[in-house]
Structure 1
Amino acid sequence: MNLCWDEVIKNYSNKKRFYYNLNHLQHMFNELQEVEDFIESIDSIRLAVFYHDLIYKVTSTENEEQSSEAFEKRI
């Protein structure tokens, strides 16, 4: 689990990220908290939130796909 956490912190803390950063993750989890009682597999959703924007390169159109691939490797 530490590998996942380290990967998330490293990528979302990148100084080149102006929006998809740790503040963005906090916002996502604040929103999720409002509905988590209605979600059966909340831990799966939380993990997906951590990885949804893991890869972010401004000029790339494949960020979501690459983030998804990274998520698949970890699960």
Structure 2
Amino acid sequence: MTAATAADHGAAVLAPAERLTGVRIDPELLAAAEYQVGEVPQEPAEEWESVTVDITDAHGVRTYVRVRRDQL
């Protein structure tokens, strides 16, 4: 893959996020961003009560959803 092709691919991947959030994603924004990650084990836990999705967008708006096992 050439550098131009890689840049086109990256732009295509980020375009939906830019459109949804209204935030222009550029190298400076990505370099200054704070990233948090979690580890997902290969094998699921034998017993679990719920799954939580907690996302904060670039505007500071938080989306928090908790799904109980019985809701799935």
Same-fold status (TM-score > 0.5): no
Please tell me whether Structure 1 or Structure 2 has the larger radius of gyration of its CA atoms.
Answer: 2
- Which structure is higher in strand share? 2
So what's the TM-score if we normalise by structure 1? 0.26
Q: Which has the higher contact order (CA 8 A, sep 6+)?
A: 1
- Which structure is higher in helix share? 1
So what's the TM-score if we normalise by structure 2? 0.27
